[in-house]
A and B are shown apart, each in its own frame.
Chain A
Amino acid sequence: MNRTDDQANLDEERQLLDLLKDYPMPEATAGFYDQALVRAARISSRRQRNRWVMTGFGSAIAAGIVLAFVNGLFFNAPNVPQIDSDIPGVTMALAEPQTVNLVFSSAEALDAATLTVLLPDGVELAGFPGQREISWETNLAAGKNLLPLKLIALTPHGGEVLARLQHNDRDRTFRLRIEVG
């Protein structure tokens, strides 16, 4: 490596560091910090109360509830809003549409896969008022496939959204926890 190469490398490194220092950041949505504090206090207290209630049931009964839920996951739409802090979740504002994007990663292209979205009571997909189950056929590319879901919470109860992908005999269900703050 000669002096010119060294100089070129140094120059590129300097340009890169300048560019990285200039890398822009979006600001949080106006009022977001204050709302986040209020929601934190409310949701944290609610989760704590739920934890205390669950403790009172005893571990054997609690295990039975979990099994029943997993069993129901694949065969039924959820009739009762379920809150499970161990699955991914989003917090929505009441009556404000919010886009949640799901990514379906597939090792190979899938033709004629069926996507089904199951919604809890009080959560709707924009453009599908009153429908709790929406199903359609789609082709998936190999790699990541983005599914934007524009959701609206009509009640403060939240619950779980299930997105089920079926192709031939394969079936995968994704659970998304919705909390309304």
Chain B
Amino acid sequence: MPCRCNARLVRAMEKNLSSHVFDQLVRPHFDRLFRLAYHLTPSKPEAEDLFQELLIKAFGKLDELADIEEPGAWLSRVMYNLFVDQHRRFARQRMHIVAESQLPGDGLEGLPGGDDPVANNERRQRLTRLDAALQQLSEEQRIVVLLHDTEGYKIKEIQELTGTPAGTVKSRLHRARARLREILVADGTFS
């Protein structure tokens, strides 16, 4: 009869191996995934929660993940679906979690500055106004414009991520830019 302690040891080794394999598969995509989480939610605490939920879900699908050619794209889609599921649930209940930063932005706090304080201040003001303008867009428009114009996603990538037809993605992008321009002209950001 095999020794029980050996069985425990094997289980522990399997668990360590799984964690190691998982780490190797997902870590190269962390920064991009965190940026995606931030643009979806859009706040740092919520982004960290969404990121955490993604890892929990992905760890449970390690076998599937190991066979996937482009784990980054797969992880992004799982994250987007998690976000949509949570969002739909919250919307149905008409109560949902947000972070304090529906106010302008976590990203503005640690904004690195150059040597010129006047230029720094001007840049901060322009970005704060952009942040406020982004809050006035619909969620779909905000996500598309940030992924495309800030993160450099291609239309096809956004289409695959969100499952939205390319024509709709383009139309959202066009409308988002037009609305942002309208707001930023009206508040004097663009002379």
Contact = CB atoms under 8 A, between A and B. Distances in A.
B27 interface: yes
Nearest to B39: A25
Contact of A101 (B18, B97, B146, B189): B97
Given A29-B48, A45-B15, A88-B89, A101 B98 contact: yes
B95 A13 contact: no
Query: What range describes how many residues of A lie at the interface?
Result: 35 or more
A41 B86 CA distance: 21
A23 B146 contact: yes
A103 B96 contact: yes
B150 interface: yes
B35 A25 contact: yes
B55 A36 contact: yes
B155 interface: no
A109 interface: no
Contacts of B6: none
A105 B101 CA distance: 17
A24 B97 contact: no
A36 B52 contact: yes
B30 interface: yes
B100 A101 contact: yes
A19 B96 CA distance: 30
A32 B95 contact: no
A12 B123 contact: no
B23 A37 contact: yes
Nearest to A44: B59
A90 interface: yes
Interface string B118-139: 0000010011001100000000
A26 B150 contact: no
A91 B23 CA distance: 20
Contacts of A100: 97
Given A28-B48, A103-B95, A20 B150 contact: yes
Interface string A11-42: 11101110111111111110011001101110
Contacts of A12: 181, 184-185, 190
Contacts of B177: 13, 16
Given A26-B106, A101-B98, A172-B95, A37 B89 contact: no
A163 B48 contact: no
B73 interface: no
B90 interface: yes
A130 interface: no
B61 to A, nearest CB: 9
A25 B99 contact: no
Given A27-B110, A41-B19, A88 B56 contact: no
Contact of B100 (A17, A19, A89, A99): A99
Interface of A: 11-13, 15-17, 19-29, 32-33, 36-37, 39-41, 43-45, 47-48, 87-91, 98-105, 144, 146, 148, 163, 165, 172, 174, 176, 181
